[in-house]
Amino acid sequence: MRLDKFVCKSTELTKIEAIQRISTGQICVNGDVVTNEATQVHENNTILLNGIKLKARDFRYILMHKPEGTICSNIDEVYPSLFNRLNVDNISELHIAGRLDVDSTGMVLITDDGRWSFNITTPMKECSKVYRVGLSRPVSDDVEAKFRDGIQLQGEPQLTRPAALEVIGPKEVLLTITEGKFHQVKRMFSAVGNRVVSLHREAIGTVYLDIDVGQWRYLTDIEVQSFTK
């Protein structure tokens, strides 16, 4: 693999930062300073950053179907953590790319790759999240346009980003948003005089939830890469 990729995989550095460290002579490969980031290296090589040995990590990318009554936290609080359902090593290294509330269900992505999860959670990347929402009353006709144009949530400096609303039943809608403010979906409906009674995340980006409640699986390579485009 290329040296810059190896440095990224074994540290928290971005590609630009890794290239900067390499080009300024901070990386040694098998005892020699290497300043070309495209140099091919192997995991058996001894690679040092400022004298400290680097070890490439294999990141983990997991999809889970969150049950109601579990929390997106690494430890149990009032409710049990959904991590209890994951029988993998080093759970404390994992985090959730976009939490769901305790009463919400659906798709949760779990990883130990912070740069990957940033692509999912930062509004800048416009990664879509699709929610199936049950409401206390039918949506009024003007809500679709309001959500498309952006609405003002209490305490937020900016309007919400354009969101797509599809009415699929008298009190049921699909809502697609590309950001994840605190309790965003509930607050959006509250701002238009409605109330969320059920909330289920069906998809993130191009990946759809395809496993039963409480189950989990590793993402495929194609699914992992779909979030880095």
Residues lying near ligand URA in the complex (CB under 6 A) are found at: 100-101, 104, 183-186, 199
Using CB atoms within 10 A of its CB, is residue 98 exposed (0-12), middle (13-18) or buried (19+)? Answer: middle
Shortest separation between residue 88's beta carbon and ligand URA, angstroms: 24
Is residue 164 within 8 A of residue 197, CB to CB? The reply is: no
Catalytic residue among 4, 58, 101, 103: 101
Characterize 19-44 residue by residue with b for buried, 16 or more Cβ atoms within 10 angstroms of its Cβ, and e for exposed. Answer: bebbeeebbbbeeeebeebebebeee
State the CB neighbour count (10 A cutoff) for residue 6.
Answer: 25
Shorter beta-carbon distance to ligand URA: residue 41 or 199: 199
Shortest separation between residue 221's beta carbon and ligand URA, angstroms: 27
User: Rounded to whole angstroms, how far apart are CA atoms 74 and 200?
Assistant: 21
Whose tokens are 């630009």? That residue is 16
Shortest separation between residue 71's beta carbon and ligand URA, angstroms: 11
User: Rounded to whole angstroms, how far apart are CA atoms 191 and 179?
Assistant: 17
Shortest separation between residue 174's beta carbon and ligand URA, angstroms: 13
Shorter beta-carbon distance to ligand URA: residue 29 or 177: 177
Shorter beta-carbon distance to ligand URA: residue 27 or 204: 204
Shorter beta-carbon distance to ligand URA: residue 111 or 160: 160
**Does 101 qualify as catalytic in the annotation?**
yes
Catalytic residues: 101
